[in-house]
Amino acid sequence: MSQSLPNLFSPITLGPVTLRNRILSTGHMTGMISAGVPTPAFSAYHAARAVGGSGLIITESAAVHPTSNAYNIQLTNPAVVDALGEAAEAVKREGCAIFGQLGHGGRETHSGTDGSRPAAFGPSAIATERFHVMPRAMSKSMIADIAGAFGEAAKAYEAAGYQGLEIMASHGLLMAQFMNPEANLRTDEYGGSRENRLRFVREVIAAIRERVGRRLALGIRISADELNARGLETPEVLHICKELDGDGTLDFFDICGGSMSGLGGSVHVVPPMNYEAGYLAPASGEIRKAVSAAVFVAGRINDVRSAEAIVAGGLADVCGMTRAQICDPQMAIKAAEDRLDDIRACIGCNQACIGHMQAGFPISCIQHPETGREARFGVRRMSKAPMKVLVAGGGPAGMKAAVVAAERGHQVALCEAAGELGGQVKLARQLPGRDEFGGLVTNLAAEMERAGVEVRLNTKVTRDLVEAEAPDAVILATGSVPHTPDHLILDGGHVVHAAKVLEGANVGTRVVIADWRCDWVGLGLAERLARDGCYVRLAVNGYMPGHSIQQYTRDRWIGELHKLGVEITPFARLVGGDDEAAYFEHTTSGEPIVFEEVDTLVTATGAETDLELERALAGWPGEVWMVGDAVAPRTCEEAVLEGLKVGSALGGGDLAPADAPLRLSAAE
């Protein structure tokens, strides 16, 4: 057991189940479901966290009734029990406990399986803000039917070998709607007083206990504060938890925050890096003082030392560290062995985890793209033909390629022209609230050191250097350079590329940002310049600022810009500028948009591939591979993923046909 984290690595008993430690992977959608049935990737994904030492895994919520389509697992399909059973067996085999999650979205629904919008149901006909749904008030017979469905779902999980269940009463979903006097305006026995508003929840608990008794642990997930207009707040949630705890039917309360019903509350469902680590722990601590059952808490707990402090301080008994284990599946076992410096820390970017899920793809991690790809990249295979490898460029792509190649037995040297590693991450981390993004570089640098990569700073790779070193393979991770469109009509005026602003270029007090990228650059520059006292107008070549990045990250940021007085103009294509104005045109109507009295026009117009070394190596007989922006300018996610792929391919490794363009022939 860990000497430095004794509380986190002490066992705890929940009903009939004893957890080996207090580290939890909370229920979250993986995108690894096909036609309502978990795929083999689902089992492999959860098994990787069990192998990595997690104490408890709660798998994603299943729809218990046909009136809810908020979840992907459809328990009415008999094949689901077999698939869940495979996951349960794989997880329990490693000494980790596994619980299922049962839920109903109620009015929080947006599309059916065929793309049409199904009828939504809730306690009352109260519209939602996020999905713009007007539900139909549920009849008493439907309420009874759904409560019974929770019981039948519990039987299915027991048949699959699960050891416990969690009821979803969080995030503004159906049971939260019944508990919330703003969403429940019923005048029958299910509305009005707190006792009546808790009636449906108690009937669900009773139905589950009737079907599975005390053979399974049973708990409830609840938002300590929905952090949304007309949402449940902590004082009411505290009373709810006390009353449910008094029934003696629950083994734990799983505390989270936020609500699906509004854009403000939904940010807290998967809070981005701008929120303080463990920011919901004080609320869970209040609940823990008031109840006898165990209390879990989640919400930006990405460091085991923070988790230890939460448990030691009596704020919770178990810590949800979901993204932390997406980023490093072996986090728990490293912590148990006091190898804290070896843990790859989650940076809360939301890009490949919740970002992938919301886009309809399996979740992954920009730092650890092996996540979600366990079947292909979960085990590092030693090369049958070790090579001497030279990596040109010390950004995320080059660093990941170097790590993977070295771990597979290759002799690897990485050369970086600048005096520090990081590439464009060095710029990203300078924006307000984005300093944690620099952890990506810190993590990869530590991995390179452990893998034995030779790092040479202030060393630009040239054709002469390559010929002198005589490597078997060169990996081009030379990145990109700022791009300014050729079509712009610029007649004087102060025009500065976004990258130069991040590097310290001066700007005037009245700034227009031409945001072609629609990502963190425009948002971050607008916030930074506004905080510096500039009058900022953000002109976006898209639907909204940040429309190409994950929703929760974007929505929080837009709220900050509103508070700072930044003016936002969407659908704006940059045309040019002069010493008095910046000129745009509407992207759909073509009508002019003119911003007058402009001191500086900042162009966030992207980047283009740096081709200098690629051209210099034309005809060189060794292997030449490209990764990241050296292929085409994109994001850190693609850079690290391609580093993984090329590092895995060197010396007779595996490379899928779709990855073939990453390698150049000598003729090129």
What pLDDT, in 10s, does the model give residues 467-515? Answer: 999 999 999 999 999 998 988 999 889 999 999 999 999 999 999 999 9
What pLDDT, in 10s, does the model give residues 328-358? Answer: 999 999 999 999 999 999 999 999 999 999 9
Give mean pLDDT, residues 352-376: 96
What pLDDT, in 10s, does the model give residues 60-74? Answer: 999 899 898 756 788
What pLDDT, in 10s, does the model give residues 275-320? Answer: 999 999 999 999 999 999 999 999 999 999 999 999 999 999 999 9
In terms of Cβ atoms closer than 10 Å to its own Cβ (0-12, 13-18, 19+), residue 663 is middle
Give mean pLDDT, residues 139-143: 98
Q: Is the pLDDT of residue 76 over 80?
A: no
Q: What is the model's pLDDT at position 110? A: 77
Task: Answer yes or no: are the C-beta atoms of 532 and 553 closer than 8 Å.
Answer: no
The 3-state DSSP class for residue 101 equals strand
User: In the structure, what pLDDT confidence band is assigned to residue 145 with cuts at 50, 70 and 90?
Assistant: very high
Two tokens, residue 179:
């508990």
Two tokens, residue 550:
């994950």
Q: What is the model's pLDDT at position 115? A: 80
CA distances 501 to 424, 504, 506, 528, Å, are 13, 5, 7, 10
Give mean pLDDT, residues 568-572: 98
The Cα 87–Cα 83 span in angstroms is: 7
Q: Is the pLDDT of residue 140 over 50?
A: yes
Q: What is the model's pLDDT at position 665? A: 57
Residues 6+ apart with CB under 8 A from 436: 273, 347, 348, 429
Q: Is the pLDDT of residue 661 over 60?
A: no
Q: Is the pLDDT of residue 666 over 80?
A: no
37-38 and 33-34: which strand pairing? Answer: antiparallel
Q: Chain-wide mean pLDDT for the chain? A: 95
Residue spans per domain, the chain = 12-376, 381-482+609-664, 489-605
Q: What is the model's pLDDT at position 355? A: 97
Q: What is the model's pLDDT at position 114? A: 78
73-74 and 56-63: which strand pairing? Answer: parallel
The Cα 575–Cα 465 span in angstroms is: 42
Q: What is the model's pLDDT at position 70? A: 58
What pLDDT, in 10s, does the model give residues 402-453? Answer: 999 999 999 999 999 999 999 989 888 999 988 999 999 999 999 999 999 9
Mapping DSSP onto H, E and C, the string for 456-482 reads ECCCCCCHHHHHHHCCCEEEECCCEEE
CA-closest candidate to residue 527, choices 493, 568, 487:
568
The Cα 475–Cα 393 span in angstroms is: 8
Instruction: Write the CATH number of the domain with boundaries 12-376.
Output: 3.20.20.70
Give the architecture-level CATH label for domain 381-482+609-664. 3-Layer(aba) Sandwich (3.40)
Give mean pLDDT, residues 243-249: 98
CATH superfamily of 489-605: FAD/NAD(P)-binding domain (3.50.50.60)
What pLDDT, in 10s, does the model give residues 542-557? Answer: 999 999 999 999 999 9
Sign of the torsion angle spanned by Cα atoms 113, 117, 121, 122: positive
The Cα 137–Cα 241 span in angstroms is: 25
Give mean pLDDT, residues 27-50: 96
Q: What is the model's pLDDT at position 667? A: 45
Determine what percent of the chain falls in helix, strand and coil, rounding each to the nearest 5: 35, 20, 45
Q: Is the pLDDT of residue 271 over 80?
A: yes
Task: Answer yes or no: are the C-beta atoms of 107 and 121 closer than 8 Å.
Answer: yes
CA-closest candidate to residue 414, choices 399, 397, 404:
399
Q: What is the model's pLDDT at position 112? A: 73
CA distances 69 to 64, 154, 173, Å, are 9, 18, 12
